[in-house]
Amino acid sequence: MKIIPLVLTLLLASNNVLAQETESSKELGIEFSYPSNWTPTVKSDGYLLGSEKLEGFILIRVESYKSLKKMKVSMQNGIKHNDGTLLTPTTDLQPYGENALAGMYEGNVDEQKVRGFLIGKFDNATKKSVIIIVVAPETKFNQSHMDALKMIGRSLKFL
């Protein structure tokens, strides 16, 4: 009887593996996987992903920092745009694997209170870094947002 739960677990796991897509850009020098229920749009400095099922977005930006330390300073300063967007870290940045940092952010986008989680990855070879942030309305931010971001963060490769 223990075989039935094992088979169900394997089926669910295989569905999750199949429910992803891969995006690659030689121009940006990155490749990553993302959940198939998110749709990427190529931007000049990265990607913007949206989902029909979840409110919010994922922004992936390729940046040039000379070191992991400089990337950390930038992440600690938060995100500010002329359109009124302001996101600031709510926790200290934590290591997220090798040459990567992560942390929670809160603020405003389009005059709406939002919550987000940011991962920054640095590549010593290319001196490039990628900032990946998922942002959703404060009351709608949930584990599905985090799962999508973590999939992208874990799969991201510098080309």
DSSP label at residue 20: E
Q: Tens digits of per-residue pLDDT, 67-81?
A: 999 999 999 999 998
Number of domains in the chain: 1
Look at residue 10 and tell me if it is in a domain. no
Look at residue 145 and tell me if it is in a domain. yes
Residues 6+ apart with CB under 8 A from 71: 63, 65, 101, 120, 122, 129
Please tell me the predicted confidence (pLDDT) of residue 15: 44
pLDDT at 84 over 80: yes
Q: Is the dihedral of CA 158, 85, 41, 104 positive or negative?
A: positive
**Which domain range does residue 41 map to?**
20-158
Look at residue 132 and tell me if it is in a domain. yes
CA distance 68 to 70: 6
Report the percent of the chain where pLDDT is more than 90: 79
Look at residue 1 and tell me if it is in a domain. no
Look at residue 14 and tell me if it is in a domain. no
Look at residue 117 and tell me if it is in a domain. yes
Residue 82's pLDDT band, with cuts at 50, 70 and 90, is confident
Residue 5's pLDDT band, with cuts at 50, 70 and 90, is low
CATH of the domain at 48: 3.40.1000.10
In the chain, helix, strand, coil percent, each to 5?
A: 25, 45, 30
